[in-house]
Structure 1
């Protein structure tokens, strides 16, 4: 699957055609004030619901490490954020910053729960072959922890009682991810968005280095791309 965009320019043809295929990453580089975020907003407004935007000015803190809304509310927020991101003022303003952070938590936990339910149904039906097949697929938290470790972040996260995501470092006592550093929370937010989007999604990632050191963001995004060859990526850098 591919995503194509027509971008207006002055010369020589008046338009520029850009295409990003699944499994491909497109980089957009430029100094401050050259219109990178405006271009990202154009991509978003021209995209379909198969587009997920991760903005540079996103909120990186959590009120708690647990989801704060139901599945129905999650669906409503998804629609609201999609329509908001298509508006011109979304380039500099985000009316759903808090909800985006909570959506990432919800989707991460929901992905893990869906896998557990599939395995449980196969066990109840005594479909041993299906159990073996499902168990070979890594769960969201196992993948996330592996990527965090390879991206030079020495933390392990897990979902505990009351669907709260907890973290630990070097075998320490577990604590809420709300207490992680800005960079650690940001890495989890980016990874949760990428790991849980549907297949054939175009991910628009605006200046991921704003909250992460290059020694972390570079391997993290490279690993996420390898993890999701069924998606396309568009990254903007200052």
Structure 2
């Protein structure tokens, strides 16, 4: 590109604080983007052509873009060679100070290894920092002398590149100091001082990145391929946000697979590499107005799987069981049923996820068929038992687990059925009916059209609701449902309506194990044996919603 074109870009950015950069469109043609931030993050999974993308962006303007590759040699000698700044700048930016070899940065990268070459420029970077400091001090001394000769106000001493480096180091490593003496760099921790080339990988990475960014010429686009390498997550964002503050003249483009880095870097514009076929990329921008947790969105994008929202927490049996039943899905625990419904709705309405299948699955609890039909329209479906824990006490699973333990299937199921039906359900039936009636009333109340602008109107609206509620009909309907299941001795119907979480935690002794260990034992047995897992999944197929494909 012409020099005038890039000068106009820089002048325009200085005027309105906008940065321009380029990404390839679906035809691999250059598409211009603009941002008022000085950070852009591009997230891509392994194999999504991240390094090639960094090279593509650099090739759009070799003079404007400086790329820090993912392959970085962090070794250097204790004594840093001293050069003037012009030499050092050329070595960092072009890889050589030979004018005949500087064209298009071919020497720095080696065209044959443009995305794979190990960068071995640490000494050049440190030399550039020292040279830049010396140049800044020389400029100050010169200005000071002129001011003194002309009796003008004396200039303030400059904040040199080394001063900035030390300040950045203090932000990242407040418990240890960076010490520079002549051409040597040291780390100081308490009374201990050790040469910089003996630092940890993390310390050397901070020194390398900070020095590299500070010594790069003004007004550049900096591409950082895998900014997370060798950096602990606790210091990663501190380092890069601090560097962005010190180099507000530069646009930082990070290319990474680290979702945490992207999420914590809140102020940056973000893109996701949706697809890469070896030649072309397809991008999606992560819009700020998406009403979704960004870390969750990036997790889903990175997984490339269809999504299943479930109840329960991260360590509940829900996520462990559903991971077995739906191995091709990215399982996300949401806590409550309400969260499953709202998350499923939000993600299905998000354009960036239109190519993903998104479902929600919930416990049946005391919900009516009418209520469940409403949820189906939102892609949320219920299992055919009252609680997920009841899946572990289905006849099919009980018989299968009994066979795994070498016990008589008929005897074990008969004993467990008798316990569940006679000892638990029959004795708790009145309580279960009452809870079911209360749930239905609360559900109807929460979805009622009670309204009014004053006391009288609200009172009238409430009376109309109560009269339309038909409480006796609700009670009869729920009572008949529970009593019929009991009188018919229908085990499948009973566990479909018996809303009691601890049933599965009371039957372990029938198999010769502790009651509280039953669920964990079953899940462990299924996870460790593929044959058992297939039989277990097959045993539960009839209890899972047919609307959610499992393959």
Same fold (TM over 0.5): yes
Instruction: Name the structure 2 match of 1:85.
Output: 109
Larger RCO (alpha carbons 8 Å, 6+ apart): 1
Equivalent residues of 2:187, 2:193 under 8 A apart: yes
Change (3 A) 1:8 1:55: same
CA contact under 8 A between 1:40 and 1:204: conserved in structure 2?
A: yes
Partner residue, 1:40: 54
| TM-score, scaled relative to structure 2 | 0.38
Residue correspondences, number: 227
Assess if the C-alpha contact under 8 Å between 2:176 and 2:189 holds in 1. yes
Comparing 33-42 with 144-153, which one deviates more in the overlay?
A: 144-153
1:126-182 residue CA offsets vs partner (Å, 9 max, x unmatched): 2663422xx2x4222222222222224533223313x22233223x35432112111
C-alpha deviation, 1:88, in angstroms: 5.9
- Structure 2 partner of 1:227: 246
Looking at secondary structure, tell me which structure has more helix per residue. Answer: 2
Matched, 1:151 2:172: yes
> What is the RMSD of the two structures over their aligned residues, measured on CA atoms?
2.6
Q: Which residue of 2 aligns with 1:52?
A: 66
Query: Structure 2 unaligned runs (5+)?
Result: 1-9, 11-18, 97-104, 258-551
Cα contact 2:82–2:130 (8 A) shared by 1? no
The equivalent of 2:43 in structure 1 is 29
The aligned counterpart of 2:127 is 106
Q: Which has the larger radius of gyration?
A: 2
CA–CA separation in structure 2 for the residues paired with 1:42 and 1:64: 35
List gaps (5 residues or longer) in structure 1: none
Separation of aligned partners in 1, 2:136 and 2:22: 35
What's the CA shift string for 1:74-108, capped at 9, x where partnerless? 466343462243836221123xx32x111210111
Residue 61 in 1 paired to residue 75 in 2? yes
1:119 aligns with 2:140: yes
Choose the corresponding residue for 1:177, options 180, 193, 196: 196
8 Å CA contact 2:202–2:230 kept in 1: the answer is yes
Greater share of strand: 1
Q: Which SS does the other structure have where 1:210 is aligned?
A: coil
3-state SS of paired residue (1:204)? strand
Partner of 2:114, secondary structure, is helix
**SS where residue 34 of structure 1 aligns?**
coil
Q: Is the 8 A contact 1:9 1:15 kept in 2?
A: yes
Say whether residues 1:164 and 2:184 are aligned partners.
Answer: yes
What's the counterpart of residue 218 of structure 1? 237
- Over 3 Å counting, the alpha-carbon distance change for 1:18 and 1:215 in structure 2 is farther
The residue that corresponds to 2:16 in the other structure is: none
Distance 1:158 1:194, change over 3 A: same
Structure 1 residue 237: deviation in Å?
Answer: 1.1
| TM-fit CA distance, 1:20 | 5.1
The alpha-carbon distance between structure 1 residues 70 and 146, as it changes in their structure 2 partners (threshold 3 A), is closer
Q: What is the rounded CA distance, in whole Å, between the counterparts of 1:229 and 1:70 in structure 2?
A: 25
